[in-house]
Amino acid sequence: MIERIIILENVDPIVFFGVNNSNLQLLKTLYPKLRMVARGNVIKVIGDEEELATFEEKIHELEKFSVEMNVLKEEDIIDIVKGKAPAVINVDNLIIHGLNGKPILARTANQKKLAEEFDVNDMVFAIGPAGSGKTYTAIALAVRALKTKQVRKIILSRPAVEAGEKLGFLPGDMKEKIDPYLQPLYDALEDMIPPLKLKEYLENKIIQIAPLAFMRGRTLNDAVIILDEAQNTTKPQIKMFLTRLGLNGKMIITGDITQIDLPRTQQSGLIHAMSILRNIKGIATVEFNKKDIVRHKLVQRIVEAYEKETDHIKSLSLKESETVKDEQKLEID
């Protein structure tokens, strides 16, 4: 009889062992000759050497399945232990599996295009209206790259620009003032990574979420770096961010150029960057539109209403400008 320690490095123990250790109890019934106990992400097993070797091999298969699917059911365990392929529903345009095995998909043509451009380019600009899935798809691609070990880190950032409210009036210390700006990023991650694993990633800085100002001076290697709400960056800010890209790094820059919260005297860094970087090899641009909106059906109608108002205002401004020119011409004549 020998003892072996098996460490589960990548999996969430709650997902792997099941509620009330139900999956562990099933493993004990499937391997009655082994004595096993689990604590945290460590399994201690005692038994015959040959039986232990088989058990460890199956545990790592179960771990790989659990990491990929974010779920591990009793029927999956039985199939893998018996050497059968678990029943997995193949879904078109799958990016990753979220909590409880929920498939996270590229649901529209431009979301799919973003996934394709991310695979072949090191920097992608993704612009478009609210609700089109730019940020959510970008974060899903980053999580996939982390899970498949293409990168070692995910860096998520946003400019802390007020949309009508002032930071100084928010309660709490600086972290508490900043966190509301970053909450949409946390929301997306919580859909994709089990809570304990996400907490571990954040504590170990494998996933980092920080305001744009905290990026200065850094070189970001082996990472997917996402800048969200990039329309609210100034030209110096976005230049600083884009030049953080390090070896084996990838960047996705998302934004909505119709919702700029900068002072009117400042040009959006996103618009400027896209204009001067558009034809550089290795940089791609994906332009989302109202057809990509995947939120409540009213969101698409709201976006359309604002577009109509903007077009109407532009039309009136053009007519006013032409009227002024005609009046000036008459005065000259």
- Measured CA to CA, the distance from residue 247 to residue 243 in angstroms comes to 12
User: Is residue 179 over pLDDT 90?
Assistant: no
Structure tokens at 240: 């600083």
Strands in the chain per DSSP E:
2-7, 35-39, 42-47, 94-97, 103-105, 123-127, 153-158, 207-211, 223-227, 250-255, 283-287
CA distance to 10, 143, 156, 164, per residue, from 148 (Å):
11, 9, 18, 40
46, 5 Cβ separation under 8 angstroms: no
Higher model confidence: residue 113 or residue 101?
113
pLDDT (0 to 100) of residue 327:
54
Strand order in the sheet with 35-39: 2-7, 42-47, 35-39
Quick one: tokens of 230?
A: 């990039």
User: What SS3 string covers 190-232?
Assistant: HHHCCHHHHHHHHHCCCEEEEEHHHHCCCCECCEEEEECCHHH
- 94-294: CATH class: alpha beta
The predicted model gives 14-27 an average pLDDT of: 92
Higher pLDDT, 10 or 314: 10
Angle at 234 between CA 283 and CA 231, to 5 degrees: 60
Q: Is the pLDDT of residue 316 over 60?
A: no
Half-sphere exposure of residue 83: CA atoms within 13 angstroms, side-chain side: 1
The 10s digit of each residue's pLDDT in 121-172 is 999 999 998 889 999 999 999 999 999 999 999 999 988 764 444 445 555 5
Q: Write out the two tokens for 110.
A: 């431009």
**Residue 184 banded pLDDT, cuts 50, 70, 90:** confident
Burial of 200: CB neighbours in 10 Å, binned 0-12, 13-18, 19+: middle
Q: What is the pLDDT of residue 333?
A: 53
- Lowest-confidence segment of 64-68, 141-145, 240-244, 322-326 by average pLDDT: 322-326
Query: Would you place residue 305 in the very low, low, confident or very high pLDDT band (cuts 50, 70, 90)?
Result: confident
pLDDT digits (tens, 9 = 90+) for 205-241: 999 988 888 888 888 999 999 999 999 999 999 999 9
pLDDT at 164: 44
Residue matched to tokens 């969430």: 12
Judge contact between 10 and 67, C-beta under 8 A.
Answer: yes
Integer Cα distance of 160 and 181 in angstroms:
6
Tell me yes or no: is domain 2-81 CATH 3.30.1370.10. Answer: yes
Average pLDDT, the chain: 86
Provide the pLDDT confidence category of residue 284 given band limits of 50, 70 and 90.
very high
